[in-house]
Structure 1
C-alpha cells in the first residue's frame, strides 16, 4: 500500500480543475478555493459509495452552520471522480452546504500524497479517506484514516473536525417533522421550530412516506409528528410543551 504523508504545515498542491457549472465548462484553481479563506476539506474514495453517501458528506452538510459560526468559510469535498458524477451526487444528496471538487485526474490527490490503488474493487486510482483544515492555502491540520484494509472511517468525520476547531462547539439537534400538505398544525409546528432556531428535516406524507410508514414509526395516524434527537415528541401541542422547557 502507498505510504500516506501527513502534510500539516505545508501548502496545498497547485492545480486547475475543469468543472461543469450549468452548461459551461469553468476552470477552478487551487487559489480560487483556498486563497484568503479558512476551508474544511474532506476527501473520500468515490461519489455514490455507501459510507460517503450515508455518513461522511451528510454530516458535514448538517453541521455547516456550526462550522460557519466557528470561522470556516467553506466546506469542500474532493474526490477522484469526474465533474458530471460529482454534480449528480451533490444533487442526489441535496447537500447545498457543500462544494464538490472533481479531481478527475487525481492530480490534487496525488500531490497530497493520498492517491491509492483500489483496483482490487474495480476503482483504479482513488483518494484515501482524509480531512483537513486549510487556512489561506496552508494545511493547519490533517486527519488521515488509519492505513489498514478496507475503507476505515474513524477520524475524518465532521464531528472530529469540529472538535478540533472548537471543542466546545455544540452540534445542532437532529429534528424531523412528518407532515402533509395543507395541514395547519404542521405549518404551526414548523413556524415554532423556525422561531426557536431549530433546523429540521421534513418528511411529507404522499411524497416521502405513507400513512403506513407514519403508523409504523410513530404509532400515530395524525400529523405532524415531531422527533428530536431520536425522541418522539408528538404533535404541535406536545412540541409547544417541549419548547417551553
Structure 2
C-alpha cells in the first residue's frame, strides 16, 4: 500500500544528473533546503500521459506557481540523466527541473517504487505530486491504486488549488500557422505584445497538413487563433478581438 508521508522529511538521496557533457551529483539538500518546491513524479519520460498532459501543464503554470511562492518545480522519474535531458529538450519545458532517479532509490525510500514488469518497464515511480517546504513534505497527492496508470489528483491544477485556490490562471491560447506566413507572424507579434503566451501548431510539422487545419478549425487559411477554446479567427479578427477586450 502506498503511504502518505506528509509531515516527514524527504529521503536523503544523491541523484546522478547530467549538465552538458558532465556528470553532476545533486543531493536532496541541494534541491529542497530553504526552498518551497513542487515535485511531480511519473512513470516514465516520453510516455503518453506524462508527455501530453502531466508535464506540459506544470510547465505552462510555472509562472503562476512562482507568483504564489514556489521556488522550483521538479519532475522526477526512474529514468537516467540522458533520457531525462532528451525528454526536457523534446518538450521544451524550460520552467521545469528534471531529476533522474535512475536507480529508483528516492522512489523506493518514498514508498512509491512499483513494479511495471507487465509493460516491460521494470521498477518505476508511482504517479504523485507533493509540496515540499525546506525539506519537509507538507502535502501529497497520490494517484489511487488502480490498474493501469491513473491520473486524477497529481496534476498541476490540483496542486495550484491547494496552494492558492484563487490564483489567477493564464488564458489558454493556440495558434495554427504555416512557415513563411506574414499574417501568422503579425498575429504572433500581437499576441506577445498583449502579454499572451501561446501554443503554436505549425502546418508541415510532424505530418500536420491543411487537411488537419480544415478538420480542426473548419477553415483553410492561416493563422487560426483560439483563446480558451473559442475560435477568434485570422490575424484581422485577432486584432479586432484584442481591441475589443483591451
Taking structure 1 as the reference length, the TM-score comes to 0.93
Distance, in Å, in 2 between the alignment partners of 1:107 and 1:123 is: 16
Task: Please state if 1:239 is matched with 2:231.
Answer: no
Deviations 1:122-176 (A, max 9, x none): 2222111110011111111111111222221111111100100100112212111
Tell me the CA shift for residue 119 of structure 1: 2.0
* Structure 1 residue 136 corresponds to structure 2 residue 134: yes
Rounded Cα–Cα distance in structure 1 between residues aligned with 2:124 and 2:19: 23
Cα distance in 2 between the residues matched to 1:58 and 1:172: 14
Who is 2:226 aligned against?
227
Extract unaligned runs of 5+ from structure 2: none
Question: 1:114 aligns to what?
Answer: 112
Task: Indicate whether 1:9 and 2:7 are aligned.
Answer: yes
Count of aligned positions: 243
Query: Deviation at 1:182?
Result: 3.8
1:199 to 197, 200, 216: 197
* Whole-angstrom distance in 1 between the partners of 2:53 and 2:213: 24
Structure 1 equivalent of residue 32 of structure 2: 34
In structure 1, distance between residues paired with 2:117 and 2:215: 42
Q: Which residue matches 1:166?
A: 164
Deviation per CA, 1:23-49, whole angstroms, max 9, x where unpaired?
Answer: 111111111111121111000111122
CA distance in 2, matches of 1:168, 1:61: 19
Match status 1:95 vs 2:93: yes
Residue number in structure 2 paired with 1:187: 185
- Could you say what secondary structure the match of 1:199 adopts? coil
Once the two structures are superposed, residues 186-237 of structure 1 have per-residue CA deviations (whole angstroms, 9 ceiling, x without a partner) of 2222222112211001223344533332233223232221111222110122
Q: What secondary structure does 1:63 align onto?
A: helix
RMSD of aligned alpha carbons: 1.6
Q: Secondary structure at the match of 2:159?
A: helix
Q: Which residue of 2 is the match for residue 73 of structure 1?
A: 71
Distance in 2 of aligned mates of 1:53 and 1:207: 18
Give the TM-score normalised by structure 2. Answer: 0.93
- Indicate the residue corresponding to 2:48 in structure 1: 50
Relative to 1, partners in 2 of residues 1:203 and 1:133: Cα closer, same or farther, differing over 3 Å? same
